[in-house]
Every structure is written in structure tokens, then in C-alpha cells.
Structure 1
Amino acid sequence: MEPDFLAAFSQPSTLTQVPHKNDIAQGEKKKFINPTSLKNPKLEELQMLLMDWINTTLKQEHVVVKSLEEDLFDGLVLHHLLEKLGSLKLDVEKIALTEKKQKHKLGVILEAVAQYLQLEEKLQKWSVDSIFQKDLLSTLYLLIAIAKHFQPDLPVPSNINVEVVIIERTSKGLRSENAVECITESRENLEDQSQTDAFDELFTHAPDKLDDVKKALLQFVNKHVGKLGLNVTDAESQFADGVFLLLLIGQLEGYFLNLREFFLNPSSAMEMLHNVNLAVALLTDGGVLDFPVNAEDIVNRDMKTTLKVLYCLYSKYKTREM
């Protein structure tokens, strides 16, 4: 019998990002917006805003977008948009008719976006395959990034959270996990980004001081996890599976985490994501985090996100007596 989430997705629907179990290869992991979140008024507002923005920008080109995922998947509209916004001249055909040519064109366009926005591949929340497969979540992330760079004054609705379903095909079959993902930042974070700006400034303009920050945070971490006979030497890799983060939270908050609630020795990306999602939920509920965190960024070893989370813990507990 199929899991409940697949049974729900198998019902007749016009939703374009509904997964089919046969679309997920062995060892592959895919993430989709749960259909129940698609009627979120704020999500619908975001889609309408982005469509109006594209249509207004490309009015002279007589482009009319009625569905983000349906109308942008082949790269044609994105090509027009980047030429208009950034005066980018891409060496690709205006019109690509075959699937092979469309995917090639889309790849060239997304590579140009990454270079123009100075985004590392591990920080991109979209891919050629996800956009071409008409995945709404990836398409939204891509458009928000483009808009934020080229038109930062666009009034993007704040604090849009959606429930996502993460599906992975393992040797034992399909596994799924639900998580809540923040697509856009909260208004508070948009208005007060002193901590975020400080880290951005550190990474961009003062990389020579980065090692000092790492050392200070690791000293703080080891001061507490050392009670468990543990030692962290690499913040980027050792927090990726969520185990050290959960144990650190337990030490700082003074409670014991039941081993049934997390994977002490995670053996897959899905189990690592479960751990980090749990840690983020605990920190959010405890009022420690003051900015949205995508758990996948930590699993993917994004140093900036990891250090920002550790700094939040440091800020709250740095004066705690040993």
C-alpha cells in the first residue's frame, strides 16, 4: 500500500507540481509544496505579484504570464526578463522547440543568473531539472532571487510559510517527511537585519576575520558539549547532520532529548534533515532564532547559515556559568 501522502497526491488534480512515485529515481530526493498549502492566500498573493511584475516588465514584448510554473519552465520568458532587467545578452536561441534544446537554453540562463547574482551552486534553491519539471517551489525561489537583485523595492509579501513534502527513494522504498519552509522573510527581519548584515559584511568584506569568529564560536560550543566528552573542530561539517546541534541545545537548555526523537547516527540526507529541522523548531519555539532558517542550508554545509545559528545561541548563553 502506498503511503498516505502518495495516496493524497494520486487523486485527480490540476496542480502541476504533484509528484508521481515513478518520477523519483533510486537515491533521489525531491521536495514539493504540499497541495494543502497551495490555497494559502499569502502564497497566492505572492504568485499574483510576481506575474504582474513580469507582465509589466515585459509589456513591450507582448509577454503575458498566467502561470509561473507553466510559462517559465522552458526559459523563453526568463530569457526576455533577464535581457530587460539586466541587459544580459545570452548566446542561446530565442525559441527552442525540442526538449533537449529547451533544457540546454534553460541551463545557460540559470548559469547566467547564478553568475550575475553571485550565487554558489549549493546556495541555489532551484535547478534546471526542477524548473523544467514545472516545480512551483523552485520557480518561486528563482523569481524572488531575481526580483530581490534587480528590483529590491518590489513589495514581496513577508513571512510566507508553506508545508513541503520531502520524498526520497531508498533501497527500502519511498520515504517522506513533512516540513515547514519559509519562502520569504518576516517583516521584522526585513526591518532589522543588523545581525544578518554583520555576517554578510564579514563574509564579503572581512574574510580575514572569519577565522577569529569561527574560533570564538567553537570555543563556546566545546565549552558545553565537552561535558559530554565531545569536541567540535569543523563547524561547517560537524553540524550538518544536526546531532551536535541537538546535543548543544540540550546542554544549553538543560533538558534531555529522547533518542527516539532524532537520529544519533544519521545514515541518509533525509535523517540529517530530520535532525536539523527538529533543532530549528526547538530554537524557534524557544525564541532563540530571530531570522528564518532553511534546514537544508545547514545540511548542505552553508557556513554562513550555520554560524548565524551558532551566534544566536552564543548571544543568549555566552554569560552562562560553567
Structure 2
Amino acid sequence: SLKDSKLEKLKEVLQDWINSTLKAEHIVVQSLDDDLYDGLVLHHLLASLAGVHLPLEEIALTSSAQIRKLEIVVEELDKRLGRRDPEWDGRGFHQRNLLATLHLLVAMVRHFQPELELPSDVKVQVALVEVSRRLGQGKALGRVLAHADVRALLGFVNTSVARLGLHVSDLDKQFSDGVILLLLIGQLEGFFIPLCDFSLTPVNHAQMRRNLFDCKEQVTHPVNFSCLDVVAQDVAATLKVLYALFNKHAKQKEKMAAQCD
């Protein structure tokens, strides 16, 4: 029933509604199935529609943080909507429960924008199955992804390098020559690396490895990773470096925020 025309139309209307609501914040949802699981979109919808600004981290990186964020946002939405659906829970949304997501979004539209016309008589046939998930890319990637969400890591990276006019969309390929990683470390650690000190446009693996070796030396608390693996576009090795950087600098920001409070 996922290919039902009425269901497809409902998803299209809800997606357009979200994008229209959050247009000023430059948030674009491309898939209801995949783009609402980390709490970012629902958090911004709550703020935009209800004027409720919860003191939550903008990007929740770990699965546990994402679930906790979803639970807080959904609890606040329950108060505004005056109802509670048993399927509305943080873990369910995080597991990409499309049916629960649709129920919540429809309830939000009817409460906050009742004039919006939604397709009627939409029916979804649900089959419960037990699925065994395999991450692929080997055990190393599995261990990294157990702690870090790739989409959230991309957000962390792009926020950090945006002032340099850079944007990353492909973690394994764009970090394989060490250039963006060096510039990212410079932004996070608070120093500038003279362009003459590294290969800005490396043309061979030797220059790429040298860049990555420099990355290791520049980090205050060195991260143990294989330069060869990153050059070979091993996504697990790249994620390991990025997660270590995030973990270090996110904790520093949390400590500074606590001191200010």
C-alpha cells in the first residue's frame, strides 16, 4: 500500500507543507521516510508553528541523543495538540515508523493549519515483519555507526567549514586527500595553516598521505587512524576521525555553556 496514489499524494502534501513552513530556516525535507528521524525537523516545526523554543542541541549526533530529543519535542507537541497517540514515541520515530510520522504530521496540520486540504480516505495496510539489519562496510564501520549518525556528522562538518565557503556532501571522497580535513581541524582548533605548508591540490597518493599525516600532528589530542585507509576512501576510517573531532569539541562547548550558566 506504500505505492497507493492517495498515500503518495498525502506524503507529497505534507512534505510541501513542511518545506513551506520551514523555508525561512533553509530546511528542506526530501523524504518523510528518512528526514524526520533525528528530531531536527520536528524541533523546528514546533518552534515555527507553536512558538515553543526548547533548549535542545541543534544537531543530535548519537542515536540516544536523537531519541531523547524526539521524546522531548513530541511530549511538547502532545500538550499543544491535546492528544497522545500510543505510537508517538521517540524510539518509533527514530526507527523511521512512517505510519506514526504521518499520523503526527496530519494531527499537526489539522491543529495549526486546518485550512490546508489533505487527501481523504487514505488507508495504509501494515505488515509486521522481523528484519535483520546489516550495516555492511565491515565490523569497523558498524562500531562507528553505532555511535555516530552520518547525516549529523555532515551537519557538524558543514557548520564548521561554512565560513571558508566549503560544503561537504561525500564523506569518503572529499576527505581522502586531507585538504578539507586539515582546514576543518584548523577551524575547530582555532589556528590557520598557511597554504604553502600543505598540498592544496594534491595530485598523487604521496601528497594526500602527507596531508593526512599533518592532520594527525595538528590535532591537540591525536586521533589514531590510518592515512592509507582514508586515502583509499575507507568510509569507516573517515568516520572514526570525524566522530573523534565532534566528540572532543562538542564536549568543550557543553562545558563552556555550563560555566556560563
User: TM-score band, normalised by the shorter chain?
Assistant: 0.3 to 0.5
Q: TM-score scaled by structure 1?
A: 0.39
What TM-score, normalized to structure 2?
Answer: 0.48
